[in-house]
Amino acid sequence: MPALDDASLQVAVEALAASDPDLAGIVARHGSPPLWNREPGFETLVQIVLEQQVSLGSALAAVGRLRTALGIDPSVPLTPPAVIGLGEDPMRTAGLTRQKAGYLLGLASDLTSGRLDLEAVAAAPDEDARTALMTVAGIGRWTADIYLLMALGRPDVWPDGDLALAAAMRRANRRHAPCEEPGRATDSRRATRHRGRLATVARRRRPDPLACLPGGRAIAADQDARPGRPTRTPDQGDRLSRFRARQVR
């Protein structure tokens, strides 16, 4: 399937709007969404890892502090050797958690050693590309899917576990049932082959971050645990989840 571009996105928006009156209403009110794409590569993966369970603004600030610690300005790309050379302690001093610093060092090491080949990932089918990315500590399904969708332009990828996106879809469909990934139940007929485009349209409306959560509590999935690590339970994740909910606007 061809990668997402402005023209194919517009065709998909029209097809989705024609098949779903709720999505048609979003498009009528807000217009077609822009193509939120990113450059493939190490720096984008770093940014997505830093976006896990925090706001985009917080992640952007973390990238800025990392650049300051490296002594490079925004025009200079982040590279695996530079991150490895910086080491964990300066990243911690720059405000990254021990876990996030470890994830970035592991990613940089995997790319430097060839254990992860992003050119091969770009050439692989969706499932194979996702599997390759998820061999890296700190990259789970959500991070892999955001990279496939936004950096590689894969049109049939849905970032499962994305709280804001799930809430937006729930409100778009005026549902009161728990959120679920398109491709299941009644969503499957309209979402097949267009899940990436559907995600782009749904983000045109401002979601309620608590809309699809039981008891009014924000429960953020432990989307990107180290491979083999158990998923965080709602009680364990509740404090972090409440913080994340405050960040979502």
Question: What is the pLDDT averaged over residues 163-180?
Answer: 67
Radius of gyration of the chain (CA): 18
**Which residue has 């960040």 as its token pair?**
247
Domains along the chain? 6-37+157-202 (no CATH), 42-151 (1.10.340.30)
pLDDT at position 175 = 55
CA distance 95 to 140: 22
For the chain, give the mean pLDDT. Answer: 77
Chain-centroid distance, C-alpha 55:
11
CB 219 within 8 A of CB 238: yes
pLDDT at position 151 = 96
H/E/C letters for each residue in the chain?
CCCCCHHHHHHHHHHHHHHCHHHHHHHHHHCCCCCCCCCCCHHHHHHHHHCCCCCHHHHHHHHHHHHHHHCCCCCCCCCHHHHHHHCHHHHHHCCCCHHHHHHHHHHHHHHHHCCCCHHHHHHCCHHHHHHHHCCCCCCCHHHHHHHHHHHCCCCCCCCCCCHHHHHHHHHHCCCCCCCCCECEHHHHHHHCCCHHHHHHHHCCCCCCCCCCCHHHCCCCCCCCCCCCCCCCCHHHHHHHHHHHHHHCC
The reported pTM is 0.72
pLDDT at position 66 = 96
Question: What is the pLDDT averaged over residues 48-53?
Answer: 93
Q: How far is CA 131 from CA 100, 120, 172, in A?
A: 21, 12, 31
Percentage of the chain surpassing pLDDT 70? 69
Confidence bin at 244 (pLDDT 50/70/90): very low
Confidence bin at 238 (pLDDT 50/70/90): very low
Confidence bin at 71 (pLDDT 50/70/90): very high
How do residues 72-113 score in pLDDT, each as one tens digit? Answer: 988 999 999 999 999 999 999 999 999 999 999 999 999 999
CA distance 69 to 239: 29
